[in-house]
Amino acid sequence: MSRYQVNPRFSWKKLAEGCVILDLEKGSYFTLNETAARIWTELAGGTAADEIAGLLAADYDVTAAQAAKDVGETLALLSKEGVVAKC
């Protein structure tokens, strides 16, 4: 069960069809589509990666393997950008 911690230099806001994450130090931002925003929201709430994949599989009617792939890709991107870190 992998858990991630949000870097405190980032702030975020939920939007109607996604969310935006702002780097408070650099002034840059990321926009996330609905699925990535769901991953982010769950992650920010402390939900483990495998639990998030299970939620996506149920809510979006995709296979568990596809949901796990989507979660992994989103977390890899957020990790690469320094938004989250594995804890």
How high is the pLDDT of residue 2?
A: 83
Query: pLDDT value at position 48?
Result: 94
Q: CA 65, 67, 73: angle at the middle one, nearest 5?
A: 100
Give the helix/strand (H/E) hosting 72.
helix 64-80
For residue 21, the surrounding DSSP H or E stretch is strand 18-23
Q: Which residues of the chain have pLDDT under 70?
A: 1
pTM, to two decimals: 0.87
